[in-house]
Chains A and B, each alone.
Chain A
Amino acid sequence: MPKQTFILNGKPVTVDVKDDVRVLWVLRDLLGVTGPKYGCGINVCKACTSHINGKAFNPCSVKVGDLKRTDKVTTIEGLPATVGAKGDDLHPMQEAWLELDVAQCGYCQPGQIMAAVALVKKVRREGRDITEADLDRIRNVCRCGTYVRIREAIEKGARAMR
């Protein structure tokens, strides 16, 4: 069985599993990292959104064999550490989510937050602020319909990410 090595939430991990197993199942079923959720398995619902080397990606649609040893995968569990948060401290986007009490069932929210952080970083790279059009294009499904609070929280979190 091939050994798969990559960096997960700041630490190198090695798993014995075939190349074609998607990263989502390596995280959830083999490593017990359950923050990224399954909602469709075909990169549509975005519930599993995590980061690879700081950018948003959907582990349901990436073979573990396609990860390099140096690839840094960050799930919701590792998000606070990306801003140097210690102990129970959270990422500013998570704080914004708490402040606006966004979550209802909560199933999609790890993916929503990871998508929001990547979106803010993306528009910053483009030298601009988030617009309504950016928010309109977020593809993450929330079946509880928390969309309005998600939009408010992203704007608030973005301000705090300065």
Chain B
Amino acid sequence: MTALEHDPQANREVPEAGLGRRGFLGWVMAGTTLVVAADLGLSRTAASAIPSLPQVPEVYDLEDLQTDAALPTANLITVTINTDGTASFALPRMEVGQGIVTSTAMILAEELDLPVEKVKVTLAPARPELLFNQLTGGSNTTFSTYTPIRVAAAVARRKLLDAAAIQLGTTVDRLTTTGGIVSDALGNTVAYGDLATSAASQVVEAVEVLLKSKAEHQVIGKPRNRTDARDAVTGRKKFTTDLDVPGALPTMVCRPPEHQGSPKRIRNKTQVLRLPGVTHVAMVDTGVAVRAKTFGQCIDAVRALEVDWNRGTVSGESDQTILAKLKAQELPMVVPQVPVLAQQVDTRFEFMFRSSAALEPYAAIADVRKDRAEVWAGLKAPIVAQGNIAAATGLRPDQVKVNVVTGGGSFGHKLFGDHAIEAAKVSKAMGVPVKLMWHRVDEPRQGRLHPMATSRVRATMLAGQVLSFEQRHTSVTTDFSHGLGEMITSLADELPTGLGGLGFAETIFTLTQELPYNFGVVTQLLNEPLEFEDKFSTGSMRNIYSPDTCVAAELTIDLMAKKAGKDPMQFRLDHVKNKRVRAVLEKVKKEGSWGRAMPKGMAQGVALHKEYKGATAVLVEIDCRPETVQRDLGKETYTGPRVTKAVIAVDCGLVINPRGVEAQMQGGFMDGLAMTLSASSHLRDGRFLEGSWDNYFYTRQWNVPPEGVEVHILESDSDTPGGIGEASVGSSAAAVACAYARATGTLPTRFPINHGQVRFKPKSFVPSMPASPTNGLKKTY
């Protein structure tokens, strides 16, 4: 354990007037043990150059506040100091593997001077009063919670010091805190746990605190393993289906063959009810649900069901018909007149549907009664889910309790409450608690998809100078009804100028796209034609638009470099916008030995991406030689071109946990790799063909770069953390695409590059689930 020790007053400049840059206002709540709080809205202060406290107006009367103790709690996050010396905090976000429980514990430990092991971070249930402040997405968790969490912790520490001063008969300035213990100069000590009660307040009280400076950090910035790692490797980590809620028996849904179809009629309900283990059969809008003693018996019952189905929302449509519709809707370029001597680079790329499903399928436990409901599920937007569940069950939102469970991955999939809403409907229809789980085949066929899109780019150059760079992205509608949309509506008046009149999708596109190059007049526009509204179950997928736009832009930049007679790396360095992007690019150039000689059929590729207040450069080496591409590792195994090595450099602002940043960069790389080379969903006659991991080709060990994925985290000037969960996806996808183009000498225009050929026999649509095999004992090793 790192020793946490610092003089409480050292390096803490007292603000001259009001609260300074690191000075903030927090609260001590009334309680029997020490409970402190800070306003979640404080994050906005940290983001702006000029500190201010818009969420705590000076006119706010403390008397009023004390009278109406409920009010301050409305937007607050609270930290409790327990009598056993631990601190507890319910994070209003969802852990899906991205490491925020660990990084949050580190942030609290830092400001509290408490060992990380003594900080207990749990996930808060849906708190409707937080409005838009309980959405885990857009790589925003640490950025938005960094300041308020530190303020709450600093208030707690301050109150513990006050209590210790009384107990030790001294003054606060003579006390130091280390590892959860307060000491005076004489060597007298008192533990936080012993102060928790005496530091408690009977009334709500406002407290001014100063946060530690970056230079004082002892925990933040040091590599730390995940707090839940031991539970994960011992099988003790609990996911939704691992929970034991009394009476909540396994439940699965027989789903329509067509995407977003619906059930018309069950033909053999009585027979299915007689099958072993089956307790209930009920029709809901998404299919026919079966509840049984085991999930295996649910699968058998679903396979036995005979159901008449209504057609889906894209009946008769296929990849080609949707692509044709998208093409017809592409926005025109605006470069009107190309100067006589100017050169033009025109490109157009197509991006196929992809499934954002995690390894843990959609699962939710629901217990819906006449007057109340309780739901357990992995949910990144639990408040929205709560509202939806209330609407679906005819209850008021305050009658619905939504418990947030750690998720087995999300990648955008758990932004939506589809599983929780469906479980609630099924529980209501059956009148019993249910533990609903989607079968794997349900996920790519009926679950959320990354929308199909096209991206056109036109660049003009004159005498080596880039005059303009235009990008037109046309996409099947992206569903933002998980809360981001409402957030935009509520902020309509505060958004930067130029966003007025744009829809949700266009606003998000504009807020996320930032071309990190000086290319003269740059325009990047999105069009999501209305004709696709509600046709597909879509959403963002580990990054929203960037993987596709970045691939299109970076491949075009390679062509521009070629036209200018420049090396692709040098061309990029000649045009980078600022020193942060230059630094990451220079880093991969050096560490990845850019320009080294490679055999024919192999090549390097480089790409750059800027988003979420950070910059990421990726350099890869790819092997497209026939002996590699045609590797035969047996059935159900797509090999193809192999990236042999990847080097990533990232400037993600202030780093909380470098080990977590490295993990996110490596994981994001695997997603980018799959998007470019192998993973997609095929639409044929209104049905998606893919059914499991043997035909949805997400990155597997045989695709992983054998020489590793090297991650370099650059020192950043920034005092605030950027987003890391998605930061490497776009640049990885693009670097792989650029390397592939250079190795093969052909420009790929459809992604993933293997989409043209269906390499598997689709699993049956009726019945909607495959039987589990029985030959497992023949496959032991």
B746 at the A/B interface (Cβ < 8 Å)? no
Cβ of B293 and Cβ of A30 under 8 Å apart?
A: yes
Cβ of B294 and Cβ of A25 under 8 Å apart?
A: yes
A57–B778 CA distance with the chains assembled, in angstroms:
9
Q: In the assembled complex, which residues on chain A have CB atoms less than 8 Å from the CB atom of B780?
A: 52, 55-57
Cβ of A45 and Cβ of B294 under 8 Å apart?
A: no
Return the chain B residue nearest A132 by Cβ: B706
B239 at the A/B interface (Cβ < 8 Å)? yes
| A35-B772 contact, Cβ under 8 Å, with A41-B440, A145-B667 | no
Task: Name the distance in Å between A46's Cβ and chain B's nearest Cβ.
Answer: 9
Cβ of B233 and Cβ of A90 under 8 Å apart?
A: yes
Cβ of A98 and Cβ of B360 under 8 Å apart?
A: no
**Stretch of B56-64, B328-336, B693-701 that contacts chain A:** B693-701
A90–B411 CA distance with the chains assembled, in angstroms:
31
Chain B proximity mask over A95-107: 1 for CB below 8 Å, otherwise 0 = 0011101111111
What 9 pairs across the A-B complex have the smallest Cβ distances? A35-B235, A105-B97, A145-B670, A107-B408, A106-B232, A61-B776, A104-B97, A145-B667, A25-B294
Cβ of A52 and Cβ of B777 under 8 Å apart?
A: yes
Task: Name the distance in Å between A143's Cβ and chain B's nearest Cβ.
Answer: 4
Task: Name the distance in Å between A119's Cβ and chain B's nearest Cβ.
Answer: 7
Return the chain B residue nearest A18 by Cβ: B276
B146 at the A/B interface (Cβ < 8 Å)? no
The size bracket of the interface on B is 35 or more
B295 at the A/B interface (Cβ < 8 Å)? yes
User: How many chain A residues touch B (Cβ–Cβ < 8 Å)?
Assistant: 78
Query: Could you say which of B293, B694, B704 contacts A44, with CB atoms under 8 Å apart?
Result: B694
Return the chain B residue nearest A58 by Cβ: B776
A15–B478 CA distance with the chains assembled, in angstroms:
48
Cβ of B98 and Cβ of A104 under 8 Å apart?
A: yes
Q: In the assembled complex, which residues on chain A have CB atoms less than 8 Å from the CB atom of B407?
A: 105
Question: Residues on B close to A: CB < 8 A?
Answer: 96-99, 225-226, 228-239, 241-242, 244, 250, 276-277, 293-297, 299-300, 357-361, 406-409, 411, 437, 439-440, 633, 636, 659, 663, 666-671, 692-694, 698-702, 704-706, 708-709, 769-770, 772-777, 779-781
Return the chain B residue nearest A59 by Cβ: B776
A135 at the A/B interface (Cβ < 8 Å)? yes
Return the chain A residue nearest B729 by Cβ: A145
Query: Could you say which of B232, B439, B698 contacts A109, with CB atoms under 8 Å apart?
Result: B232
Chain B proximity mask over A1-44: 1 for CB below 8 Å, otherwise 0 = 00000000000000001101111111011101011111111111
Q: In the assembled complex, which residues on chain A have CB atoms less than 8 Å from the CB atom of B769?
A: 41
A113 at the A/B interface (Cβ < 8 Å)? yes
A124 at the A/B interface (Cβ < 8 Å)? no
Name B's interface SS: loop
Q: In the assembled complex, which residues on chain A have CB atoms less than 8 Å from the CB atom of B667?
A: 104, 144-146
Cβ of B358 and Cβ of A105 under 8 Å apart?
A: yes
Query: Could you say which of A60, A62, A106 contacts B97, with CB atoms under 8 Å apart?
Result: A106
Q: In the assembled complex, which residues on chain A have CB atoms less than 8 Å from the CB atom of B663?
A: 101, 104, 146, 149
A158 at the A/B interface (Cβ < 8 Å)? no
Return the chain B residue nearest A47 by Cβ: B359
| A75-B775 contact, Cβ under 8 Å, with A29-B250, A98-B225, A145-B668 | no
Return the chain A residue nearest B776 by Cβ: A61
Cβ of A151 and Cβ of B704 under 8 Å apart?
A: yes
Q: In the assembled complex, which residues on chain A have CB atoms less than 8 Å from the CB atom of B359?
A: 37, 39, 45, 47, 105, 107-108, 141-144
Cβ of B233 and Cβ of A94 under 8 Å apart?
A: yes
| Interface pairs (7), CB distance under 8 Å | A29-B250, A103-B233, A104-B98, A109-B232, A110-B235, A145-B668, A147-B699
Q: In the assembled complex, which residues on chain B have CB atoms less than 8 Å from the CB atom of A135?
A: 701
Task: Name the distance in Å between A100's Cβ and chain B's nearest Cβ.
Answer: 9
Residues A52-79 near B (CB distance < 8 A): 52, 55-63, 66, 75-77
Query: Could you say which of A22, A63, A98, A119 contacts B229, with CB atoms under 8 Å apart?
Result: A98
Q: Besides the contacts A28-B241, A41-B772, A104-B99, what 16 more A-B pairs have beta carbons closer than 8 Å?
A: A25-B295, A39-B440, A40-B440, A42-B772, A42-B773, A43-B772, A57-B777, A76-B233, A90-B233, A102-B233, A106-B237, A106-B408, A107-B239, A107-B359, A141-B698, A143-B357
Task: Name the distance in Å between B247's Cβ and chain A's nearest Cβ.
Answer: 13
A86 at the A/B interface (Cβ < 8 Å)? no
Task: Name the distance in Å between B480's Cβ and chain A's nearest Cβ.
Answer: 23
Task: Name the distance in Å between B774's Cβ and chain A's nearest Cβ.
Answer: 5
A126–B494 CA distance with the chains assembled, in angstroms:
67
A23–B440 CA distance with the chains assembled, in angstroms:
18
A136–B97 CA distance with the chains assembled, in angstroms:
24
Q: In the assembled complex, which residues on chain A have CB atoms less than 8 Å from the CB atom of B666?
A: 145-149
Cβ of B225 and Cβ of A145 under 8 Å apart?
A: no
Return the chain A residue nearest B408 by Cβ: A107
Cβ of B700 and Cβ of A141 under 8 Å apart?
A: yes
